Amino acid sequence: MAKQNDRPTLATVAARAGVSIKTASRVLNGEKHVAQATAEKVEDAAAELGFRLNPTARRLRAGGRSPYIGVVLSDADDAFQARVFSALEAELATVDLRPVVTVIGDDPDREQAFLDECLANDLSGIIVVRAHPDAADNYARAAAASGIRIVSFDPAVASRSGEGISVLAGDEAAAGRLAAQQLLDHGHIALGVIGDHSTSLITTRRLEGIQSAFTGRHDVGWRAYMREDAHDEASAKNVVAAWLGSRSAPSALITLSATLTQGAIDACRRLDEWPALVGIDDFPTAELLDVTVIDRDVETMVAEAVRSLQDTVGEEDGRLGGGAGDENGGPGDGASLGQDVFPVRVIARGSGEELPEQERRLSARNS
């Protein structure tokens, strides 16, 4: 039995026929005004590869604009991505659009196959919540080849962005800086930093922000406690447990995602050791657990993403077309949106405001 990723895609049909993805899509969707010889090459290539379009695509084209938007997640269990998707589903419904979702995990081939299917089925747009680092180039190619509108919450796509792509990202460097500064302001100089996928642009920018907070502070130790290989709750828990079990444990922790924050909290609970903690990205139980986080306004970002899709509906065939920044810096209706950066803020709930142990003891004696 063939693996899912071995299935022929629109891109492989186009390559076999020697045409662009856009031309292959036009032929297979039954559009007119394609040269007969070209159409035959595409149809022959599709038959040889066993490629079949979803029949929904033809029905949708007959009715005008597709009501479907492709949504790409890397991890459905990640609190930030789950929050974005929940808000997206509700916001899309207000404008009569519906999400078609894929969870790519750590598989860029699955992401490419989903992108091909979105193009083949003539979806009205694609919203990328998190992309695989190796797949970012694919979106620029898809936008250029098909004219499909793509909106991304992942800044990695911004570095390859072009016509038809807009990026709505949080200020990741500011998130890292604010997390570190919150702990420095409360007297911590031994900081444990737990990250995930150091090749990710999000992680890289958050680390740059953390480092910027230490400029001129030669008394701060953090590199000895830097871990960039924690990729889930279990690995984060193991890292924190090892630190807390050592004689030179950090007095404070910075976790670079909500998933890692939850793993760190699990380790603290099991060992009954509670260093100060600031996590980046909020999560459902953070308020209950008094966890200080750095967060952004997800609802505003989602509303802006959907608005950018709505503002760029083409008049000729109902497809969502290109867009550009308006006079206020938000998405408008020109050729390319570029990147909008949304501010982040500290939500202080207690864990990030804990003093180092020695200062806590001194404060207790003086009280």
What distance in Å separates the CA atoms of residue 333 and residue 309, rounded to the nearest whole number?
10
Q: What is the CATH class of 1-53?
A: mainly alpha
pLDDT of 313 higher than 80: no
Return the top range by mean pLDDT from 41-45, 218-222, 308-312: 41-45
**CA 234, chain centre distance (Å):** 21
99, β-bridge pairs? 69
**Dihedral, 133, 134, 135, 141 alpha carbons, nearest 10:** 120
Q: In this predicted model, what pLDDT tens digit does every residue of 213-236 receive, in sequence order?
A: 998 888 887 777 888 788 899 999
Other CB atoms within a 10 A radius of the CB of residue 343 amount to 11
pLDDT of 212 higher than 90: yes
Q: In this predicted structure, what is the pLDDT of residue 57?
A: 52
What distance in Å separates the CA atoms of residue 273 and residue 285, rounded to the nearest whole number?
19
What distance in Å separates the CA atoms of residue 215 and residue 83, rounded to the nearest whole number?
34
Residue 187 CA: distances (Å) to CA of 190, 255, 276, 363? 9, 18, 10, 13
What distance in Å separates the CA atoms of residue 108 and residue 115, rounded to the nearest whole number?
11
Give exposure, 345-360, as e/b (b: 16+ Cβ within 10 Å): ebbebebbebbbeeee
Q: In this predicted model, what pLDDT tens digit does every residue of 23-35 receive, in sequence order?
A: 888 888 777 788 8
pLDDT of 283 higher than 60: yes
Q: Using CB atoms within 10 Å of the CB of residue 366, give its burial: 0 to 12 exposed, 13 to 18 middle, 19+ buried.
A: exposed
Q: In this predicted structure, what is the pLDDT of residue 304?
A: 94
Residues of the chain with CATH 3.40.50.2300: 172-296+346-366
Q: In this predicted structure, what is the pLDDT of residue 339?
A: 73
What token pair was written down for 7? 């299935």
Return the top range by mean pLDDT from 37-41, 93-97, 138-142, 282-286: 282-286
Span of 168-182, 293-307, 352-366 with lowest mean pLDDT: 352-366
Q: Which residue type is seen at 118?
A: C
CB 150 within 8 Å of CB 126:
yes
What distance in Å separates the CA atoms of residue 113 and residue 307, rounded to the nearest whole number?
27
Q: How many CA atoms lie within 13 A of 23 on its CB side?
A: 20
Element (H, E) at 260: helix 258-271
pLDDT of 192 higher than 90: yes
Q: In this predicted model, what pLDDT tens digit does every residue of 107-165 receive, in sequence order?
A: 889 999 999 989 888 888 999 999 988 887 888 888 888 888 899 999 888 655 556 78
Q: In this predicted model, what pLDDT tens digit does every residue of 347-359 receive, in sequence order?
A: 999 999 999 975 5
With H, G, I as helix, E, B as strand and everything else as coil, classify residue 33: coil
CATH number of 172-296+346-366: 3.40.50.2300
Averaged pLDDT, 272-277: 95
Q: In this predicted model, what pLDDT tens digit does every residue of 49-89 receive, in sequence order?
A: 988 765 555 544 455 567 899 999 999 999 999 999 999 99
Give the whole-number percent of the chain exceeding pLDDT 90. Answer: 50
Q: Which residue has the higher pLDDT, 200 or 346?
A: 346
What does DSSP say about strands 165-170 and 338-342: parallel, antiparallel, or unpaired? parallel
Give the whole-number percent of the chain exceeding pLDDT 70. Answer: 82
Please provide the size of the chain in residues. Answer: 367
What distance in Å separates the CA atoms of residue 203 and residue 256, rounded to the nearest whole number?
7
Q: In this predicted model, what pLDDT tens digit does every residue of 231-259 receive, in sequence order?
A: 899 999 999 999 998 888 999 999 999 99
Alpha helices in the chain (DSSP H): 10-17, 21-28, 36-49, 56-62, 79-93, 108-120, 136-146, 172-184, 201-213, 233-244, 258-271, 298-310, 357-366
Residues of the chain with CATH 1.10.260.40: 1-53
What does DSSP say about strands 292-296 and 344-347: parallel, antiparallel, or unpaired? antiparallel
Dihedral (CA of 18, 24, 28, 33) sign:
negative
CB 176 within 8 Å of CB 205:
yes
pLDDT of 320 higher than 50: no
Q: Which residue type is seen at 316?
A: E
DSSP for 287-329 reads TTTT-EEEEE-HHHHHHHHHHHHHTTB-TTTS-B----B-TTS
Average pLDDT over all residues of the chain: 83
